[in-house]
Amino acid sequence: MLKPILTEEQLAQISFWLKNCSHFVLCAHISPDGDAIGSCLGLASFLRGLGKEVTVVMPNHFPEFLHWMKGTDEILLADRDTEQVELAFQEAEVVCCLDFNDLGRIEELGEIARKSHADFWLIDHHLDPGDFCKVTVSYPLMSSTCELVFRIIYQLGGFGCMTKEAAEAIYCGMCTDTGGFTYNSNNSEIFLIISLLLQKGIDKDLIYRKIYNNYSVDRIHLMGFVLYEKLQVLEDFHASFFTLERKELKHFHFTKGDAEGLVNIPLTIKGMKLSISLREDTEKDRILVSLRSVDDFPCNKMAEEFFNGGGHKNAAGGRLDCDMEEAISITKKAIYTYEYLLVDKK
Ligand code: 5GP
Ligand code: MN
């Protein structure tokens, strides 16, 4: 029913691992999002169902609104549980890298991973995968890594045994990576997958509320502040950006996840093509950049060119090691450089 995505060769290697290996480590990218957590928990559940020892590792902590998924309390954080994580990577026979495609994207955890003697298995949907894995399942056109995990489990014949909790985790990542199925989600097979997940008894409306209707009063106030006080709109360019400094975040008692989705809001302005957020990191001395666009505007190219980052066409990110004033001038330069794609042709 669903088109298979693993080649015969990949299938043979994966089947070998499933038959002969017992220790698996699953990890995803820094500042994990719904797709990172969901894809790891979905695959972990499948592997545990086969009797495997599975350790799920994230480079650092993830927002509160993702903690409802079953298994999140067992996730190790490399910056907190470093010794346990090092041990898990030493014992691992297979390391699965989900929702990232370059060890640079997991920062310090990359050093631990490089020391491991395990075989590496990549499952990801970002462009230009690095060549560091024995099996590379890379599909940049797929909605999410969760969609890939579902397809892999399905192709391996594991759908029948999928638990409701695993189905919820997979649905969560598909939902968050597509903005609740409002972008990057026109492939009809996505809805076939959703229909199969619903057969597992998931409540997709409840999951939506757990993800999107779960904010603190502080976060709503932060949102109002950003939109009223901080948003700069370059109308002719159909572009906008806003900045958030550490002292402003502190004023609104910022916690991880509070900035989630803010960058999407300016795209609800009629005709807006590009939205950029510049936020001072509360952990390191740097500015975190998020880019969102509609249609064909390539956020990933702009992120690579100006913000030391990358990502997808309509959603990308990056980092700047400078002060906010310089970050603003880089942002304006980036927007002016892409004038030919942003400004209406006369
Ligand atoms: P966010 O704005 O949510 O931080 O990131 C948006 C998207 O861009 C996510 O899919 C994220 O994985 C990706 N992304 C963020 N930073 C980078 C980066 O430095 N390199 C690459 N390749 N992707 C990134
Ligand atoms: Mn993803």
Counting residues of the chain whose pLDDT is more than 90, the rounded percentage is: 96
**Closest atom of ligand 1 relative to the 101 alpha carbon:** 22
Ligand nearest to the CA of 126: 1
User: Cβ contacts of residue 250 below 8 Å, gap of 6+?
Assistant: none
pLDDT tens by residue, 310-321: 988 999 999 999
Q: What's the mean pLDDT when you consider all of the chain?
A: 97
Residue 196 has which token pair?
């199969």
CA of 86 to the centre of ligand 1 (A): 25
What is the pLDDT averaged over residues 205-233? 97
Per-residue confidence (pLDDT) for residue 230, from 0 to 100: 98
Q: At residue 140, does pLDDT exceed 90?
A: yes
Rounded mean pLDDT, 183-206: 97
The sign of the dihedral angle between the CA atoms of 124, 125, 126, 132 is positive
Q: What is the pLDDT of residues 79-126, one digit of tens each?
A: 999 999 999 999 999 999 999 999 999 999 999 999 999 999 999 999
Q: Are 315 and 321 in contact (CB under 8 A)?
A: no
Confidence bin at 346 (pLDDT 50/70/90): confident
Q: How far apart are CA 306 and CA 252, in angstroms?
A: 29
d(CA 70, CA 180): 20
Mean pLDDT of 155-163: 98
Select from 168, 210, 244 the least CA-distant residue to 63. Answer: 210
Name the residue of 60, 127, 312 whose CB sits within 8 Å of the most ligand 1 atoms, as the mutation to test its pocket. Answer: 312
List pocket residues of ligand 1, CB cut-off 6 Å.
29, 105, 126, 290, 309-312, 315-318
